[in-house]
Amino acid sequence: MDFMYSTIPEDPYRITDLSNVMTPALAIYPEIVDSNVDVTLGLLGGDPNRWRPHVKTAKLSFTMKRLADRGVRAAKCATTLELVTACEAGMNDVLLAYSVVGANASRLREIATEHPQTRISVLVETPEQAARWVGTAIGIFLDVNSGMNRTGIEQDHVREIVSLARAAGDLFRGLHYYDGHMHIADAAERQKAAWAGYDQLMSLVAACESAGAHVGEVITSGTPALLCGAQYAGFQGASFVHRVSPGTVVYNDATSLEDLPGLGYRAAAVVIAAVVSHPIPHRFTCDAGHKAVSADAGVPTCVVAGHENFTPLKPSEEHLPVDVPASADVPAIGAYLYLVPRHVCPSVNNFDHALIVEGGRVTSVEVVTARGRERAFR
């Protein structure tokens, strides 16, 4: 899907007094977070048990607790620090959706011991990986390659998947199927492609069940496939628990708003930047380079709220040049802008702290609890 500029108003983000705000700064708007949670739960029939959000986006204990308070108690994550944060925030069922090895695997065992109140699981895709968890209470999900070709066992390797499910024994919990690559612009075509994969997934479930390996849960649907998973008939009333796993929708970003238009989602996390230079006519530079707004999704890295006709250019580490049409005014040096990242998850990870903004005021400063990783050498 080609990135399109989004029209995002500035009004919801404007802070009345920025005199004490050092830029670039991450700002999170709890009322919009709550609204995004409402939209997601509405798409899932009001059932929080159908959602296992990836907390790589939420990142803050502040936000994870907000999810838990709404009944969203199952989650998935990618790092041991995210796992610890989710456990401490009140999640009672967390999947470390990453195939951990070496000291990372040892640390996972420690966390499971430290948090017996939380059901902790891990992904595997080989018999050797499954054998590592024998004798523990750590659950096993098999990682099935949805066609993203990043990790997992290929979907058509049915015998391999069934054999591995049986080898996992009582630790086997179900199948993990991440289809985060479903960015087909046409919604009907996206649904067709996603549902074709889900049809294969249902065949895998049937094969496992026939072999005596009970599938307790099936996890699908990254953010672009959210509607596809929520509306697929085979998941309705199935013998297993089905959960979708979008995490981006908690905050949203310019890409997710393009992927899921018209549903009521809004960006709940923005980067506040200040204009620092006018290098040439019709261009300004602000202090939100790729160490603030992630560039991993490409250029432009963001949308300037209230200014869809501004064109952010390639950033450097601390600078973001922005082109302005000849017909528009160039913001003055010292002016503040509110940037909606194209990819919010790594952008949140760029900050140690987040400003919590309510009613146009900064009401607290929260630690980005799960930023980065735990200490490397143990």
Question: What is the fold of 11-27+255-367?
Answer: Lyase, Ornithine Decarboxylase; Chain A, domain 1 (2.40.37)
Predicted confidence (pLDDT) per residue in 96-154, tens digit: 999 999 999 999 999 999 999 999 999 999 999 999 999 999 999 999 999 889 999 99
DSSP characters for 34-63? Answer: HHHHHHHHHHTTT-GGGB--BTTTT-SHHH
Q: Which pLDDT band holds residue 182 (cuts at 50, 70, 90)? A: confident
Q: How many angstroms separate the CA atoms of 370 and 139, rounded?
A: 23
The domain ranges of the chain are 11-27+255-367, 30-251
Q: Phi and psi for 209 in degrees, rounded to 5?
A: -65, -40
* Interatomic CA distance for residues 354 and 43, integer angstroms: 28
pLDDT in tens, 244-277: 999 999 999 999 999 999 999 999 999 999 999 9
- Report the predicted TM-score, pTM, of the whole model to 2 decimal places: 0.96
User: How confident is the model at residue 1, as a pLDDT?
Assistant: 42
Assigned CATH topology for domain 30-251? TIM Barrel (3.20.20)
Lowest mean pLDDT among 124-128, 184-188, 281-285: 184-188
Question: Are 130 and 167 within 8 A, CB to CB?
Answer: yes
Mean per-residue pLDDT for 296-303? 97
pLDDT in tens, 35-84: 999 999 999 999 999 999 999 999 999 999 999 999 999 999 999 999 99
Q: How far is CA 328 from CA 308, 331, 364, in A?
A: 11, 9, 35
Which residue, 215, 214, 219, is CA-closest to 242?
A: 219
Confidence of residue 372 (pLDDT cuts 50, 70, 90): very high
Mean pLDDT, rounded, for 149-174: 96
**What is the longest distance spanned by two Cα atoms in the chain?**
70
